[in-house]
Amino acid sequence: MKLKQRMVVLCAVLLLLGLAKIFLLDGGEGSAASRRDLRAFRKMEAGLSLSRGARLTHTLQSPWEIASQWVGPREVYPEETPELAAVLTSLSTARIERADVGYKGTQLKALLVLDGGQKVVFKPKRYNRDYVVEGEPYAGYDRHNAEVAAFHLDRILGFRRAPLVVGRYVNLRTEIKPVATDQLLSTFLMQGNNTCFYGKCYYCRESEPACAEGEIMEGSLTLWLPDVWPLQKHRHPWGRTYREGKLARWEYDESYCEAVKKMPPYDAGPRLLDVIDTAIFDYLIGNADRHHYESFQDDGGASMLILLDNAKSFGNAALDERSILAPLYQCCMVRVSTWNRLNLLRSGALSSAMRQALAFDPIHPVLAEPHLAALDRRLSGVIATVKQCMEAQGPDNTLIEDRMNLPHP
């Protein structure tokens, strides 16, 4: 065969291999990676529906001990969690032993201790489900229902990096005030027949309390991560300035990712890919407020980026804030496993999975329908962005194989 003919054949083979990779990683089932990710997806689907009122019956361990043992360097809970419904039920029903003002932050919250000594963060309801938060994409109060929805989206995406969250109704008169600290009690007041409190935080004001309907307050409870896993706070490399007229470097420098890649912990290990996963997660939920993030301490860059504080989400279903995706479209890379999962959730599968997962929660319906439709629409935008990267630089430079599983201690 002449050299010219050989070159033509070689080019044709390389083209077919490239197209095959795009096909297999675009919802196909032929590659080992796709088959593995499909099996994981089916496991997620099988465990998505949770039973209300589930209880632990096969162990002497408390639900808090079980949840604590789940935590590892790369996951808050494992792929298979048959006890999850029972742990969430305990979160939503356990007796409250103590109530105090929340830890440091800008938004109203309370720190509760449940029966057995388990700490949780309570975020109160501020808006009705159909309320639209106008203005900047990070505007408004925290949304308690967003914390619940974000946790279940974390399950569906297979990240498993968000602390456990459940909705709960609390009676402020009988469950909170008798066990509240003086500091928290001093922030209680009445507005008409409704009991309210304003807590202590940077933006907490007596003129802007959260109010119950009578004595019953709806909110979310987030399970505190075990003390044996201390957290380390990091400034997000794609954080906003929050100052009018002042842009962060990433907002005007399209080559910014190249600079990030030279900085630890983004120059090695899984952290940069975690940031990109998080950008996809935040874009889907409409969270433009991740100015910092947490990992576990002394991790050498190996710890996951923990998906804490997701309450500035699901504020405006009509707003698709593309700048949230900057880590994805500037770095033009994404995990193979993430790409495969996103493709399996196309064509309405994402919103359908969310409806199924959220049906369990005590504050159901957790999301209004426009927000569920927005998830499917935004997913299409993420997939289109990745495809643009593949067209520009090829799938080999865009789709990164990174399945880092560290053993539990």
The answer to whether 299 is annotated as binding is no
The answer to whether 64 is annotated as binding is no
Query: Would residue 289 show up in a list of annotated catalytic residues for this protein?
Result: yes
The answer to whether 278 is annotated as binding is no
The answer to whether 222 is annotated as binding is yes
In angstroms, the CA 263 to CA 241 distance is 20
Name the nearest CA neighbour of 165 among 264, 285, 271, 266. Answer: 285
Beta bridge partners of 166: 221
- DSSP SS3 for 254: coil
The answer to whether 154 is annotated as binding is no
Q: Which residue has the tokens 């900047």?
A: 136
The answer to whether 130 is annotated as binding is no
Contact 306, 232 (CB under 8 A): no
The answer to whether 241 is annotated as binding is no
Amino acid letter for position 194: N
- Here the contacts of 369-376 (C-beta below 8 Å, separation 24 or greater) are 370/130, 370/317, 370/318, 371/149, 371/314, 371/317, 373/317, 374/286, 374/317, 374/318, 374/320, 375/153, 375/284, 375/285, 375/350, 375/351, 376/348, 376/350, 376/351
The answer to whether 142 is annotated as binding is yes
Calculate the alpha carbon distances from 143 to 179, 190, 205 in Å: 25, 22, 17
Q: How do strand 334-335 and strand 399-400 relate by DSSP bridges?
A: parallel
Which residue of the set 289, 299, 320, 361 is catalytic? 289
The answer to whether 70 is annotated as binding is no
In angstroms, the CA 371 to CA 228 distance is 36
Q: Which residues are annotated as a binding site for ATP?
A: 107, 123, 222-225, 294, 309
From the annotation, which residues make up the binding site for Mn(2+)? Answer: 142, 309
Q: Annotated catalytic sites, by residue?
A: 289
